Structures are given as structure tokens and as C-alpha cells.
Amino acid sequence: MQTFQADLAIVGAGGAGLRAAIAAAQANPNAKIALISKVYPMRSHTVAAEGGSAAVAQDHDSFEYHFHDTVAGGDWLCEQDVVDYFVHHCPTEMTQLELWGCPWSRRPDGSVNVRRFGGMKIERTWFAADKTGFHMLHTLFQTSLQFPQIQRF
């Protein structure tokens, strides 16, 4: 039997697992990270997502509106402190994906195109044509390859 010792084991190599591995590698460049998945990362379920991902991107939108839409969409059962953290960090994460190469759909003026989706009352869903999950996952996978301390199993 072959063994591997790691400082951190992440189970699941879809969008969340890849993003967690990248964040861990950035936070501690010396950490040995095991990314464990039952399927090749580009075959995870994230690749099938078509709708997009929400983040405040327009002047007439706000974190408060995004918070309300998210909590209301969860029938007020969401952990509201987690939702608050989430909506405040979404724009940074979406911009980071863009900087890593995610090809968000654009308006004629070059700005990121956003639309309503999933119960949002304001257009704030970033998307990449009808292959959002594919493009997000591809971007995360390619970015993760830049970190040799991430070992894939």
C-alpha cells in the first residue's frame, strides 16, 4: 500500500474543493495538500451548472439586497451571519475568477453582464454563456495546477 502524508486533506475536487485547495496553498506555500476526489475534477457536478453565480456588481444593487434575496430564497432558514459574510465576499471572489481567466459574458461596453436568476430580484448573476459551471471549474482547475503542493488523488 502506498501512503501519503499531508498537512491538509480536502475531500471533493469540484468548484468548492478546488477553491479551498487554492486558498490553502496561497495561505501556506509550504503546506502539503491532498485533494481527494472519486472523479477527475473536470467531471465533478460543478461542470453541469448553467445559471451563474451571484455577486453585487451594479450601482443600484447592494449587499443588503443580495442578503435579503438569499435569505428569502432559503425560506429564512439560512444561517444569516454566514449569508452576510458570503454576500460581502462574493464580488471579490468573482473578480478573482475573472483574473484567473474565467470568461464572463460581457455587455457591449465591456463590463461583466449580469442577469436575474434563482429568485434574485436584481440582476446580479454573473454567467459565462450557458456553460458557467464548465468555465468556472476549468478556471479553478487550471489555477490549481500552478501549485505543486496540491496533490490530486
pTM for this prediction: 0.92
Tell me the CA distances in angstroms from 153 to 11, 32, 76, 91, 133, one per residue in order: 10, 13, 38, 31, 22
List of domains in the chain: 1-49+131-153 (3.50.50.60), 51-129 (no CATH)
Look up residue 21 and give its amino acid: A
pLDDT the model gives residue 91:
98
Which residues does 69 contact at the CB level (< 8 Å), separation at least 6?
A: 54, 119, 120, 121, 122
The tens digit of pLDDT for each residue in 35-69 reads 999 998 888 999 999 899 999 999 999 999 999 99
